[in-house]
Amino acid sequence: MTSEVGPTSRVTMATVAEVAGVSVASVSNALNERVGLSPEVRSRILAVADGLGYRRNTLAQELRIGRSRTVGLSVVDLANPFYADLSQGVIKTAGEHAYDVFLSSVGPESESLKEVVDGFMDRRLGGLLFTSLTNADAELLRRLQKLAIPFVKLVRDVQGVVADWVGIDDYSGGVALGEHIAATGRKTVACLGGPSDSNASASRVNGIRVGLARNGINLINESQPNLHGTPTRMSGYDRAMNLLQKDSSIECIIGGNDVIAIGILDACKDKGFSVPEDIAVAGFDNMTFSSAGPLDLTTVDVPREQIGAIGMKFLIERMDGFNGPPRRKFLPFDVAIRSSTSPKNV
Amino acid sequence: MTSEVGPTSRVTMATVAEVAGVSVASVSNALNERVGLSPEVRSRILAVADGLGYRRNTLAQELRIGRSRTVGLSVVDLANPFYADLSQGVIKTAGEHAYDVFLSSVGPESESLKEVVDGFMDRRLGGLLFTSLTNADAELLRRLQKLAIPFVKLVRDVQGVVADWVGIDDYSGGVALGEHIAATGRKTVACLGGPSDSNASASRVNGIRVGLARNGINLINESQPNLHGTPTRMSGYDRAMNLLQKDSSIECIIGGNDVIAIGILDACKDKGFSVPEDIAVAGFDNMTFSSAGPLDLTTVDVPREQIGAIGMKFLIERMDGFNGPPRRKFLPFDVAIRSSTSPKNV
DNA sequence: CTGAAAGCGCTTACAG
DNA sequence: CTGAAAGCGCTTACAG
């Protein structure tokens, strides 16, 4: 019982050094593939380390060298598959470059962005990736810039904070979606966008407005407060119910993202409207399940995984010392036309 | 330019000590609320630390004390909202107890479970949470037990590894679902389960089989290899297409989880079968979007968030030194009956 | 009530 | 080619 292998008896470099009959410095040199070690000693050390099941203590290493190969990724709503896909892109690219990802969730159920960032900084992470910024976060980001901590903004951008950003041209996406809706022949169209303090949400709504206007259509809820709102299913449901109650002649409701659109679909069902016969519904994002058989939601296909992948690539370059001017990378998108907006007469 | 505030100039306890005119030990004592400091000195130190924007270096602290308030959570498929909900439960409970969560994704796109666990151990995390174990992982878990690293198994269990587990009685869930399907009047029923090396998947299929058998119904694909498979949408689609091609008289297909069921729905759509008129479809998990208006999938409602919350609670107790016998916590579940299995004659 | 000193497990100039 | 020593930023007995 006394020979129990507890966590305190973990093998360290000192253990390896002792067994191999060399100094700790040589163990470190061998493990880090530095030059100046005779091949024999090197392989002996490696063999001993392996035999003992040695694993480097990341805490000690990072404390010593003052750098970390772990990056922080903050995500607002883990339950939104859009962010799951984006995270996969980040994680995959990180793995390819031997980086790890510390994923933190921001939201009512978890911590505020400030708390998350504090946690990231307390761990001295090498760099940060943000998915859902608002202009209110500008100060936080500027603090990071002062401390020379590299970060990349994904999807949403923040005014006045010049830094790498990856996303799509949400405005043009909105225009394309608006044009598509107009082409289906619907004239009475409402839009239930995301929060107005998200630059992406605002651009999407602006684009949708313009795409429709080019075809002589004005949003019926243009000056109503429901034009913007929380990007949740519940909010989409509530706002859609409200619209449908007041005006049953609506021919189409566009959600600022797919999750909102799901809420709109819920409301249509509860109100007994069938899609697309009675009413058309569209979203934005193309989250995984939007293409599910019965859902079949028309949406703007945002390259979610690629945004994560390129964002991570940008971040790695910054951590590796790249010091060029901030980049803004617009990725191509598509309008995924599905049956939720099929022409009425079909 | 030379006064740039770089990461090297971060304020440490030494900085605070100097400014406050005390020793580093006193700063540490003040920050950790240990007794024996005069209230005046204590509050002065705290004020100085605050003014300087001091933040404790977690790496140094954890290295020194040999314990960590961060736990590791391994998730197979981030894109499956089931795990997103479960993760939210873990994260929320962790936050309430001042713990952090290091979320890692296991899968073809990312790392193997062994790599993930190695990463967790290299960081000397305080405890681990596993979501998707198979019996092949038994050895890995036993290694953790030898090192006295606390962990909790979620959803799936592993034979031969006695440790805390939280989930539902998947077998009974299957029985209840099978009985429901039988009650809808369908007789020709197939089941496309998850992987056979997942104890949860196996139990679900066993339960479904028994629930149907009690009503005189046998699975039509009982001895076919497609009874088990990958728990992905693609696999559900492929296997369902195969079934539908061979036998168009099938009245119901049950998926081993909701993601598989989505694939089944995709296949039904492509084959021109309408749900539930031509064919009924059911799943298992009740992931968020299964209730979406047009999807409206019948499924077993697994308390996803609660599994995460209670699992985290168990883990905290272990990290706090609780040394009682391993617990097995079965949470209550429900069958969420929706229109995808509505009776044919309606 | 407060401080000097050792040490957690590493890495890195610097001697030899 | 190899090792002794200092130090990353903390915490914790132990003196005073």
Q: DSSP letter at A189?
A: E
Spell out the alpha helix ranges (H) of B68-137: 81-96, 113-122
- 3-state secondary structure (DSSP) of residue A341: helix
Tally of domains within chain B: 3
Chain C nucleotides with an atom closer than 7 Å to a protein C-beta: 1-5, 7-13
Residue B110 lies in a domain: yes
Select from A55, A63, A109 the Cβ nearest to the Cβ of B92: A109
Contact A190, A250 (CB under 8 A): yes
Chain B residues near residue A95 by CB distance under 8 angstroms:
110-111
Q: Give yes or no: residues B78 and B198 share one domain.
A: no
Q: Give yes or no: residues B125 and B107 share one domain.
A: yes
Which of B38-42, B130-134, B206-210 shows the lowest per-residue confidence on average (mean pLDDT)?
B38-42
For nucleic chain C, which protein residues have CB less than 7 Å from any of its atoms?
A: A 8, 10, 12-14, 24-25, 28-29, 31-32, 54-57, 60-61, 63-65; B 21-26, 29, 36-38, 40-42, 60, 63-64, 66
Using alpha carbons, list the distances in angstroms from residue B37 to A223, A311, B34, B64, B76: 61, 48, 7, 22, 48
List pLDDT tens digits, range B171-189. 999 999 999 999 999 999 9
Q: Give yes or no: residues A146 and A181 share one domain.
A: no
Cα-based torsion angle of the residue sequence A2, A8, A14, A16 in order, rounded to the nearest 10 degrees: 70
Q: Give yes or no: residues B327 and B241 share one domain.
A: no
Spell out the alpha helix ranges (H) of chain A: 13-20, 24-31, 39-52, 58-65, 81-96, 113-122, 138-146, 170-183, 199-213, 233-246, 258-271, 304-319
Q: Give yes or no: residues B114 and B154 share one domain.
A: yes
Residues 6+ apart with CB under 8 A from A214: A175, A178, A179, A182
Tell me how far apart the alpha carbons of residues A124 and B90 are, in angstroms, rounded to a whole number: 23
Residue A55 to residue B122, Cβ atoms within 8 A = yes
Give the pLDDT of residue A110: 59
List pLDDT tens digits, range B139-160. 999 999 998 999 999 999 998 9
- 3-state secondary structure (DSSP) of residue B339: helix
Give the pLDDT of residue B345: 63
Give the pLDDT of residue A91: 92
Determine the distance between B67 (CA) and C14 (C1') in angstroms.
34
Q: Give yes or no: residues B229 and B277 share one domain.
A: yes
Chain B residues near residue A149 by CB distance under 8 angstroms:
7
Give the pLDDT of residue A77: 81
Q: What average pLDDT does the segment B20-39 reach?
A: 87
Tell me how far apart the alpha carbons of residues A243 and B332 are, in angstroms, rounded to a whole number: 38
Pairing of strands B151-154, B127-130: parallel
Q: Give yes or no: residues B23 and B127 share one domain.
A: no
Chain A residues near residue B71 by CB distance under 8 angstroms:
none
Residue B265 to residue A111, Cβ atoms within 8 A = no
Select from B91, B122, B275 the Cβ nearest to the Cβ of A105: B91
Q: Give yes or no: residues A309 and A222 share one domain.
A: no
Q: Give yes or no: residues B278 and B246 share one domain.
A: yes
- The CATH number assigned to the domain holding B38 equals 1.10.260.40
Chain D nucleotides with an atom closer than 7 Å to a protein C-beta: 1-5, 7-13
Query: Which nucleotide, over all strands, has the C1' atom closest to the CA of B63?
Result: C8
Select from A109, A123, A149 the Cβ nearest to the Cβ of B88: A109
Confidence of residue B3 (pLDDT cuts 50, 70, 90): very low
Residue B61 lies in a domain: no
Residue A1 lies in a domain: no
Q: Give yes or no: residues A216 and A296 share one domain.
A: yes
Chain B residues near residue A76 by CB distance under 8 angstroms:
none
Contact B192, B205 (CB under 8 A): no
Residue A2 lies in a domain: no
Q: Give yes or no: residues B128 and B181 share one domain.
A: no
List pLDDT tens digits, range B318-328. 999 899 999 99
Residues 6+ apart with CB under 8 A from B301: B286, B333, B334, B335, B336
Beta strands in chain B (DSSP E): 70-75, 100-105, 127-130, 151-154, 165-168, 189-192, 252-255, 280-282, 299-301, 328-331, 334-336
- The share of chain B scoring above pLDDT 70, in percent, equals 96
Residue B64 lies in a domain: no
| Cα angle B270, B272, B277; round to 5 | 130
Tell me how far apart the alpha carbons of residues B119 and B124 are, in angstroms, rounded to a whole number: 9
Residues 6+ apart with CB under 8 A from B139: none
Q: What average pLDDT does the segment B117-134 reach?
A: 94
- The CATH number assigned to the domain holding B254 equals 3.40.50.2300
Residue B88 to residue A78, Cβ atoms within 8 A = yes
Residue B63 lies in a domain: no
Chain B residues near residue A279 by CB distance under 8 angstroms:
none
Q: For chain A (length 346 residues), average pLDDT per consecutive 10?
A: 43 92 92 82 92 94 94 90 93 92 79 90 95 92 93 95 97 98 96 95 97 97 95 97 91 97 97 95 97 96 97 96 95 97 78
Tell me how far apart the alpha carbons of residues B170 and B174 are, in angstroms, rounded to a whole number: 6
Q: What is the DSSP string of A46-65?
A: HHHHHHHT----HHHHHHHH
Q: DSSP letter at B332?
A: P
Give the pLDDT of residue A345: 63
Residue A137 lies in a domain: yes
Q: How is residue B169 written in tokens?
A: 């009685």
Tell me the pLDDT of chain B averaged across its residues: 92
Residue A50 lies in a domain: yes
Give the pLDDT of residue A1: 31
The residue that minimises its CA distance to C1' of C5 is: B25
Residues 6+ apart with CB under 8 A from A84: A78, A288, B78, B79, B81, B84
Q: Give yes or no: residues B316 and B216 share one domain.
A: no
Residue B5 to residue A292, Cβ atoms within 8 A = no
Give the pLDDT of residue A32: 87
Q: Which residues of A152-167 are buried (b: 16+ CB within 10 A; e: fewer)?
A: bbbbbbbeebebbbbb
Which domain, by its residues, includes A253?
A: 170-301+335-341
B71 backbone dihedrals φ, ψ, rounded to 5°: -115, 155
| A174 alpha carbon, distance to own chain's centre | 20
Top residue of B62, B63, B93, B121 to mutate, by most chain A CBs within 10 Å, is B63
